[in-house]
């Protein structure tokens, strides 16, 4: 009997279930059709207030200028600046923001569109931008309208620490909040790939808790290290740029929209002795090789284009003389105007109808007990419950005072 159980048959016996398992896994994991890369978005956040944090504003504006120069339009950039340096009363050069003491470049010069300014830059608004959960009245320019083909660049700068980033000197963004927001973005296919750049002290701790695939993150310093400013502008009176951003900009100033320098060349251009910190990047969640990814995949904008081969010629069969019929045209013009008016009204009506439909079930009920129960369960039940509780305590008080006498 032992001769049957020889190694070969054992091997075959083991192979069969393995094959079955493998085929079942291959069948179950549905083939994920990778979406085509259709557009690029940039979310640039500066989280610090006060004049002495001028350099954080200059960092963000420098990156804004770079990203625009390489092709991302304003409609796909969300710029959040927590304070206003250009029109600050302490600014010796009003309406000008510089990132270098030679004042060669005015970052606030022309075409700067700030989406969230001043006190609108809060942790809640930031997370709303990332997850897409806005109130209905928020305009499109303040929303991150990305889809499953978008590459998003997320740049954050300010003061930070171990697993947090300080917002507005009063609240913090924690690393688990950021990881949670990114996870929800991935669930809803709001990005194809995400590049997070953080320029704060102990920046690499901010993306410790990330777990979603397709995310690449780089921070200017590791845990326990500070990130330093580059130089002080004695004319303006404050430091004007941080080291990490300074060397990032130095890399990009050599590029134009047609270049295809890779991300690995960007990441290897950071010299720890010049930065006075270690720029650490995390690529375990990112599937592609960094040598193959051009920086314009995130920092620029390259549109996928398809040529239109032919016109759709159905309409040339029509009588081309119809446009000479003025009478019918005037009527049609009026008809259009009326149609547009009607469309607007329909929109309003539809918006009105929906909430009524939604609340239709709470109709008038005759029985007082059910109305009482309904009132009990409506929005103001917390206060009413407390009132009822307090009222119920009064007989107890009365009884106890009677007993004392």
Query: Of 39 and 220, which has the nearer Cβ to another protein?
Result: 39
Q: Which of 37, 103, 134, 159 is catalytic?
A: 159
Site stretch for another protein (CB under 8 A), options 17-25, 55-63, 235-243, 396-404: 396-404
Question: Residues 69 to 128: which contact another protein by CB under 8 A?
Answer: 71-76, 111, 123-124, 127-128
Query: Of 18 and 382, which has the nearer Cβ to another protein?
Result: 382
C-alpha to C-alpha distance for 329 and 309, rounded to whole angstroms: 32
C-alpha to C-alpha distance for 106 and 96, rounded to whole angstroms: 6
Q: How far is the CB of 207 from another protein (least distance, A)?
A: 17
Which residue of 102, 307, 327, 366 would you call a contact of another protein, by CB under 8 A? 307
C-alpha to C-alpha distance for 384 and 381, rounded to whole angstroms: 5
Tell me which residue of 27, 11, 56 sits closest to 157, measured CA to CA: 56
User: 146-149: long-range contacts at Cβ-Cβ below 8 A with a sequence spacing of 24 or more?
Assistant: 146/39, 146/41, 146/190, 146/191, 147/35, 147/38, 147/39, 147/189, 147/190, 148/35, 148/189, 148/190, 148/191, 148/192, 149/35, 149/36, 149/37, 149/38, 149/39, 149/192
What are 308's two structure tokens?
Answer: 């239109």
Instruction: Assess contact for 253 and 123: CB atoms under 8 A.
Output: no
Verify whether residue 189 is a known catalytic residue: no
Q: How far is the CB of 218 from another protein (least distance, A)?
A: 25
C-alpha to C-alpha distance for 304 and 37, rounded to whole angstroms: 8
Question: Residues 39 to 58: which contact another protein by CB under 8 A?
Answer: 39
Which residue of 133, 338, 373, 375 would you call a contact of another protein, by CB under 8 A? 133
35 binds another protein (CB under 8 A): yes
Q: How many chain residues are in contact with another protein, going by CB under 8 A?
A: 79
What are 360's two structure tokens?
Answer: 């239709």
Verify whether residue 159 is a known catalytic residue: yes
343 binds another protein (CB under 8 A): yes
Is 121 exposed, middle or buried, given 0-12, 13-18 or 19+ CB atoms closer than 10 A?
Answer: buried
Query: Of 4 and 312, which has the nearer Cβ to another protein?
Result: 312
Question: Residues 231 to 270: which contact another protein by CB under 8 A?
Answer: 257-258
Q: How far is CA 60 from the centre of its chain?
A: 15
Residue with token string 């002795």: 273
8 binds another protein (CB under 8 A): no
Query: Of 148 and 284, which has the nearer Cβ to another protein?
Result: 148
Q: How far is the CB of 145 from another protein (least distance, A)?
A: 8
Q: How far is the CB of 123 from another protein (least distance, A)?
A: 6
Q: Which of 56, 151, 201, 230 is catalytic?
A: 201
Q: How far is the CB of 173 from another protein (least distance, A)?
A: 9
C-alpha to C-alpha distance for 361 and 93, rounded to whole angstroms: 62
Which residue of 5, 18, 367, 399 would you call a contact of another protein, by CB under 8 A? 399
Q: How far is the CB of 292 from another protein (least distance, A)?
A: 18
Phi, psi of 280 (to 5 degrees): -110, 135
Q: How far is the CB of 64 from another protein (least distance, A)?
A: 12
Which residue of 89, 102, 234, 308 would you call a contact of another protein, by CB under 8 A? 308
Which residue of 162, 187, 235, 253 would you call a contact of another protein, by CB under 8 A? 187
172 binds another protein (CB under 8 A): no
Please, what is the Cα angle at 127 between 123 and 133, to 5 degrees? 130
Task: Cite the active site residues.
Answer: 159, 201
């Amino acid at each position: 009997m032992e001769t049957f159980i020889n190694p070969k048959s054992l091997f075959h016996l083991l192979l069969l279930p393995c094959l079955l398992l493998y085929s079942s896994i291959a069948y179950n994991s549905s083939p994920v059709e990778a979406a085509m890369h259709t557009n690029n978005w940039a979310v640039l956040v500066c989280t610090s207030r006060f004049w002495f944090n001028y350099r954080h504003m200059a960092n963000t504006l420098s990156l804004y200028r770079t990203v625009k120069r390489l092709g991302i339009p304003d409609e796909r950039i969300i710029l959040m600046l927590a304070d206003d340096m250009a029109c600050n009363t302490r600014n010796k050069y009003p309406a000008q923001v510089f990132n270098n003491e030679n004042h060669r470049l005015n970052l606030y010069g022309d075409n700067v569109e700030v989406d969230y300014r001043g006190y609108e830059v809060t942790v809640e608004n930031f997370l709303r931008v990332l997850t897409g959960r806005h109130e209905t009245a928020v305009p499109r320019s303040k929303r991150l309208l990305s889809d499953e083909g978008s590459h998003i660049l997320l740049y954050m700068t300010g003061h930070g620490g171990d697993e947090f980033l300080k917002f507005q000197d009063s609240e913090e963004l924690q690393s688990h909040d950021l990881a949670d927001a990114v996870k929800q973005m991935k669930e809803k296919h709001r990005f194809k790939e995400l590049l997070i750049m953080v320029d704060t002290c102990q920046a690499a701790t901010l993306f410790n808790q990330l777990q979603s695939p397709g995310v690449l993150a780089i921070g200017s310093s590791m845990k326990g290290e500070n990130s330093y400013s580059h130089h002080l502008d004695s004319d303006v009176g404050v430091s004007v740029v941080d080291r990490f951003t300074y060397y990032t900009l130095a890399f990009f100033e050599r590029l134009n929209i047609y270049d295809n320098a890779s991300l690995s060349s960007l990441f290897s251009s950071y010299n720890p002795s010049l930065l006075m910190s270690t720029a650490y990047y995390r690529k375990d969640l990112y599937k592609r090789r960094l040598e193959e990814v051009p920086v314009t995949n995130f920092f620029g904008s390259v549109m996928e284009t398809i040529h239109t081969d032919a016109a759709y010629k159905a309409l040339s069969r029509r009588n081309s003389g119809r446009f000479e019929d003025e009478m019918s045209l005037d009527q049609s013009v009026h008809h259009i105007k009326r149609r547009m008016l009607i469309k607007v009204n329909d929109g309003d009506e539809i918006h009105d109808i929906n909430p009524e439909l939604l609340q239709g079930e709470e109709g008038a009920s005759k029985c007082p007990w059910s109305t009482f129960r309904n009132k009990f369960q409506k929005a103001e039940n917390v206060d009413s419950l407390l009132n009822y509780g307090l009222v119920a305590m009064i007989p107890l008080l009365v009884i106890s005072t009677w007993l004392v006498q």
